[in-house]
Structure 1
Amino acid sequence: MRNSFPRTKIEHEKYSTKGKNEATADIGDHGTLVDDVKYRIRCNYCGKEVTKYSRFRQHLGGTHGGVTPCDEVPEDVKECMRQSLQIRKEIRQSYELCSLGEENSDSNESIEQNADNVESIQPYSLRKRKHSTIIEYTGSEQEDEILKKEEAEDYSSRQTQRCIGRFFFENCIDFSAANSTSFEKMINVLVGGRSRVYKAPSCDDLKGRILEEELKAMRERVRKVVCSWRSTGCSILLDGWTSEKGRNMINFVVDSPRGPIFMKSADFSDSIGDVDAMVSLLSGVIEEVGVQNVVQIVTYTTAGMMETVGKQMTVKYKSIFWTVCASHCIGLMLEKMGMLGTESRVLSKVKTITKFIYSHETALKLMRKHTGGFDIVSSCRIRSMVPFLILERIQSQKKYLRKLFISPEWKNSTLASTADGEMVADLVTEDSFWTEAEVLLKASIPLIRALHQLNGGDRRPQLGYIYETMDQVMEAIKENYKGSETKYQPFWTVVDGIWENQLRSPIHAAGYYLNPGLFFSDDFYADNEVKTGLLCCIVRIAEDERERDLITSQFDDYRMSRGAFGDGDAVDQRAKLAPAKWWSLYGGECPELQHFAIRILSQTCTGALRYGLKRSLTEELHMKGRNCLEQKRLSELTFVHYNLRLQNLSASNADYTDVFFEPIDPMDEWVGGGGMEVEAAEQNGNF
């Protein structure tokens, strides 16, 4: 891989040349950077190594300056470098003349007489404005200062180009956009004016050296993350889907406290229903990550063959747990709630309202006018969550929606006299709809709040909280119905059924027990389910009998708050610090238990869906028909794109719930597709 250099653009018209094969002043075309700290470059023609860009230009241009000229350099390259050096010389002279503008005429004459040779400028003096002290500057000192300025410009140019490259890579922008005139003008406005030698990256730069640089940097970041897995462990997150063309895809993301990384993707369309093939695929991923590093696999579904795959994986790898994404399970809970008798009717009425409003321009304008621009429809990656989000948004605008459908503007509109218009107006203005909506929200809101918390509402790994979170959901539902068993029990049955049969795992019980903020609280309750889950984790994770015995014996110190566990800071920080952090600070006297606790509490309980990775890139990667070079480049771009996305999400202060929400699809069933076109045809006879 060739190291990169900033491109030097010759801007003086008198030096410009035409032609396809013209020589360039781009150092990267003539040398290889062998030391990016000391800026040592190896000449591609004679092999000599020269420090600093300016000296390398002198080497190629044959202008001496204390540097041995290159005997192998082509004449057109030599001339190009001489022109480049001449331009820099003129810039330096302008700089010197400006600096000496207020000096005596003798000094000015001296500089003008020697303007043809920067090296021959004699020492001169500059007066400090504040003091009468005279400071002497030699020509060589100022030359060094200017060379440093040039090198800083070169470095800044490279960094700017890499930032532009990241923007292209992260947002999957076609590289050909870099060749457009408007792109070049935009870059010149933003940064071009700051440097006389700056050039915006071209399409070839982006898919060539800049992509190579970013790939190298990303691999180094991944290497550092991988090094942390030995102490914290990691979770392999599965993100699977079926493309519009019917292909079955899966992305593999490895999550840990140091941040998530995209590992690889696969097209398993030819293996649908083949449990052994999926087990083999997952086993390859585990071996690549390192069996000793993997604590759990978080799957995106239990449908189809995945439940059987999970059972086989836990038999094959006894120390690895197979869990289901908590977000997926909560989505199932909401979906089943929406299928209950009364609740199903409420959601059907909600859809009637939204489809009518969003299908008619007049109704939509009136709604936005009365709600202050508020949209009652919201879209989400978890489809089963959408009806309840919309219901909650409609409920929040109850006052304004009712005013809308009794307003003169509505009554005077042509829509008010239509059958659909009358039906929607009746729904919104009658109390029964709002009563039914409120009843359903009492069950759904606790689940939606839990979904927010589990997906990074407080930026901490949530495995140590999932037990408590689901208990709180159940209690909140019961409290919302004021303890009326006939009202809350149907919802409890739904939540408890999915918790027991799909979501719950022994590792969740262990996380609950090891979370000091919960363990030492008044509400903590370790029933047989929790104790059995904890014991199961000890047996499976600590395969050595001696280690198991040590962990078991050290639990007494934790339970009784002995030693460092009972220190003032440890007690004070139980509920304030992330559980894994608390163990790393205060669990050192029980090293085996500390290691066990950190590995469990460092894990997530949700899958890769929360990162909102762009699936179309994976689909494109696995399309056939490319040559080897194009496939390699797309594979590298996919790796860089996904990991830039994950890195930026991990580094930001925002929680991950934002990626759940997406723009409303005009053809979504909740907005009625092309209804506004129908209304326009009704009113105007054409669209």
Structure 2
Amino acid sequence: MISLFFTQLCCCRIEKISLAVRDFRFKGMSTVRTLDHGTIVDKINHHVIIGCNYCGKKVHGYSRFKLHLGGIRGKVKACDEVPEDVKVQMRNSLQMKKEVRRCLRKEISSSDDSPGKNDNHVESSQPYMLRKRKHGTIKEFFIENGIAFSAANSSTFKKMIHALVGGGSKAYRVPSYDDLNGWILDGELKAMREHVREVVCFWRSTGCSILLDGWTDEIGRYMINFVVDSPRGPIFMKSDSIGDIDAMISSLRGVIEEVGVQNVAVGKQITEKYKSIFWTVRSSHCIGLMLEKIGMLGTERGVIGKAKTITRFIYRHEAALKLMRKHTHSVDLVSSSRIKSVVPFLILERIESQKKYLRKMFISQEWKNSLLASTANGRMVADLVTGDSFWTEAEMLLKASIPLIRALHLLSGGDSKPQLGYLYETIDQVKETIKEEYKGRETKYKPFWTVINGIWDNNLHSPIHAAGYYLNPGLIYFDNFYANDEVKTGLLCCIVRIVEDEREQDLITSQFDDYRMSRGAFGNGDAVDQRTMLSPAKWWSLYGGECPELQRFAIRILSQTCTGALRYSLKRSLTEQLHMKERNCVEQKRLAELIFIHHNLQLQNLPASNSDHADIFLEPIGPMDAWIGGGSMEVKAAEQNGNV
């Protein structure tokens, strides 16, 4: 209620107006739905562009669109084809809003002029929207960071807000626990649902990908977060506690039905029921599997063991750690990752990059004078670092692992483009790079190719990846582009499964020649120049209009992602808390709403570009990690096993 924004002195009179405002809005919503008469065609920042269903004109914003339909000239051209009843509805809606604003201005003005003002009453003179914005930012801070609303009753919290918002004055009324858990939360829920509806409107043209983030909690329950991703941004849909595979399939089917099967572009049992859906495994997971298997090969396992021995020794001894950071200019050797199988190779790469400084450390006078230099473990590690064998083996292993890690960075959001159209080519490039690094010696590169091919064939490859490769204008026009039988079969499979109408299937097939031969709009100057500059889906939306059926198909394929929900780092503890069976239905519903807002706020506020290895690096490793912890017994065991 609006009365909650104002002081106690004018609460009674404003409450009366607030009821009228609520009635106006309810009536307006029940009779006038703007999007019944227009379609959102684009969104720039927080502003929508709506296409009129009657005359086709594109109008910026809901208010201007209502003016357009209501025939009110001035800010926008009136629609000449809108039905009379719709025009009257829009005019009435605009008139009601105008009346509400007039009443509010009058009420605020009269309360400002009333006698008996005190410090609290100063707040009523603040502009309504400014106060609402302040309340909104406080609310978002609490919800996005998962802070209990009870903290709002803290005296230090109020003191902080007064210092930041009011310059030390207590004139600003800080929202209380009841405010945050009541009308403010309700308002945020309404706004978030509207945001979700706006994103959903675009799924019809771009399709979407349902991402599953699954894990097992401490008491053995299997939990899943469902996130729907599209070029308009990711949306958190729901979470569930899964007892078995049948329960997971049932839950996923529920999400598919809610999203709309025609909007989903990415289990065998799911694809059997929904032919237009493609089930794929997250690319980062599969590349992680490749690295894990490479790390288990005979010689490679020994190199990783030696690297672990070096880091354990340095990080277990304060004097050695201090000396290492002095020589490496504070560069640490150890970092963590969401993908555990990547950790050994990231650390090995970091150690190799600091080779010169580590060698200087272990031949320095400061090291020689230290007590550690005289210990058995100290001499062992010094011999490893100052010798040649470890570095030669590390360099050979990194020839295979670095191309995979670079591919992982690219496919996990290293730039802002959806990467499905690049996956097929990226894996091929990884293999060719590894072959070049080993100078074409088959005995050297073939074991790594075998690992990569095995996981690609059995886990990662999908027809949608082949279609993305063929439809990517940044690849198809290069001389080294090669569409083998696997690519052609995958492309045709996607056409048959995604496009139901046989006539449209034939049209798409017939339009491929124009695209492949760069005829018509595909070959004009801008289209050629932008082939590698724009994302593939954006390129098709701009230059594929002469082949509309193929354009629609290409956009739906190329708008999908090949990454997973893991990269968004949704707080799993909230999902675990939600599925604890210890609260009544009212509390459960409120918590579910709070989590829905929390996750979607986090997704809504993602950085524009997930660079800096968004799906690889996480945070510094804790002191109990295997690369840091461990005593002399582990070092001796490693030595006995030939790892040092």
Q: Which aligned pairs between 1:222-301 and structure 2 lie closer than 5 A?
A: 222-268=196-242, 270-271=243-244, 275-296=245-266
**CA 1:4–1:504: 2 relative to 1, 3 Å:** farther
The letter for the 1-side match of 2:143 is F
Q: Distance in 1 between matches of 2:285 and 2:12?
A: 53
Return the offset for 1:454.
Answer: 0.5
Kept in 2, the 8 Å contact 1:256–1:603? The answer is yes
Give the Å deviation of 1:261: 0.4
Give, in whole Å, the separation in 2 of the partners of 1:570 and 1:169: 44
Match 1:661 to one of 602, 617, 624? 617
Residue 55 of structure 2: aligned partner: none
> Percent identity among equivalent residues?
68
> TM-score, normalization: structure 1?
0.77
The amino acid that maps onto 2:5 is: P
Aligned ranges for residues 93-172 of structure 1 at < 5 Å?
150-152=125-127, 154-172=128-146
Structure 2 residue aligned with 1:328: 285
Distance 1:609 1:668 in 2: 21
Aligned with 1:492 (options 441, 449, 457): 449
- Do the aligned partners of residues 181 and 196 (structure 1) sit closer, same or farther apart at CA in structure 2, a change above 3 Å counting? closer
Q: 2:435 corresponds to which letter in structure 1?
A: K
Tell me the amino acid that sits aligned with residue 508 of structure 1. Answer: H
Instruction: Give the Cα–Cα distance (whole angstroms) in 1 for the partners of residues 544 and 100 of structure 2.
Output: 54
- The 3 A distance-change label for structure 1 pair 3 and 229 is farther
What amino acid maps onto 1:577 in structure 2? L
Among 336, 345, 351, which residue is 1:379 paired with?
336
- SS of 1:249's equivalent in the other structure is strand
Which 10-residue stretch deviates more, 443-452 or 163-172? 163-172
Structure 1 residue 3: Cα displacement: 5.3
TM-aligned CA deviation for residue 57 of structure 1: 6.3
Aligned-pair distance for 1:350? 1.1
1:646-657 aligned at under 5 Å gives the runs: 646-649=603-606, 651-655=607-611, 657=613
CA contact (8 A) 1:337 1:343 kept: yes
How far residue 666 of structure 1 moved from its aligned partner, in angstroms, is 2.1
CA change 1:390–1:567 in 2 (3 A) is same
Evaluate the alpha carbon distance shift between residue 232 and residue 196 of structure 1 in structure 2; reply closer, same or farther with a 3 A threshold: same
Deviates more, 1:533-542 or 1:210-219: 210-219
Q: Tell me the distance in 1 between the aligned counterparts of 2:437 and 2:577.
A: 48
Q: Which has the larger radius of gyration?
A: 1
Q: Does 1:174 align with 2:123?
A: no
Q: How does 1:521-532 map to 2 (within 5 A)?
A: 521-532=478-489
AA aligned opposite 1:648: N
Residue 669 of structure 1: how far off its partner (Å): 1.4
Amino acid in the other structure paired with 1:469: T
Corresponding residue SS for 2:363? coil
Partner of 1:56: 107
- Secondary structure of the corresponding residue to residue 614 of structure 2: helix
Deviation at 1:183, TM superposition (A): 1.8
- Report the CA distance shift for 1:567/1:26 in structure 2 as closer, same or farther (over 3 A): farther
Give the secondary structure class of the aligned counterpart of 1:658: coil
Cα deviation, 1:1-43, whole Å, max 9, x if unaligned, reads x45743548xxxxxxxxxxxxx785988776365499999xxx
The question of 1:435 aligning with 2:392 is answered yes
Counterpart in the other structure of 1:43: none
| Number of matched pairs | 559
Amino acid at match of 1:156: L
SS at match of 1:251: strand
1:404-415 correspondence runs (5 A): 404-415=361-372
CA-based RMSD: 2.8
Per-residue deviation at 1:653?
3.5
Verify the 8 A CA contact 1:3 1:209 in the aligned structure 2: no
Q: Where does residue 640 of structure 1 map in the other structure?
A: 597
Range with bigger deviation, 364-373 or 495-504: 364-373
Return structure 1 stretches of 4+ with deviation > 6 angstroms: 26-30, 36-40, 85-88
Distance in 2 between the 1:601 and 1:49 partners? Answer: 46
Secondary structure of 2:18's counterpart equals strand
Shift of 1:594: 0.7
- Counterparts of 2:261 and 2:534, CA distance in 1: 29
Find the counterpart in structure 1 of residue 546 from structure 2: 589
**Counterpart residue number, 1:626:** 583
User: Displacement, 1:87?
Assistant: 8.1
Mapped pair 1:473 → 2:430: yes
Calculate the TM-score normalised by the size of structure 2: 0.81
Cα 1:415–1:558 shift into 2, 3 Å: same
User: Aligned ranges for residues 596-615 of structure 1 at < 5 Å?
Assistant: 596-615=553-572
The Cα shift of 1:506 comes to 0.6
Alignment partner, residue 543 of structure 1: 500
For structure 1, list consecutive stretches of 5 or more residues without a partner in the other structure: 10-22, 41-47, 66-80, 92-145, 297-309, 676-687
Whole-Å separation in 2 of the counterparts to 1:314 and 1:363: 56
* CA shift in 2, pair 1:646/1:483, >3 Å: same
Change (3 A) 1:587 1:195: farther
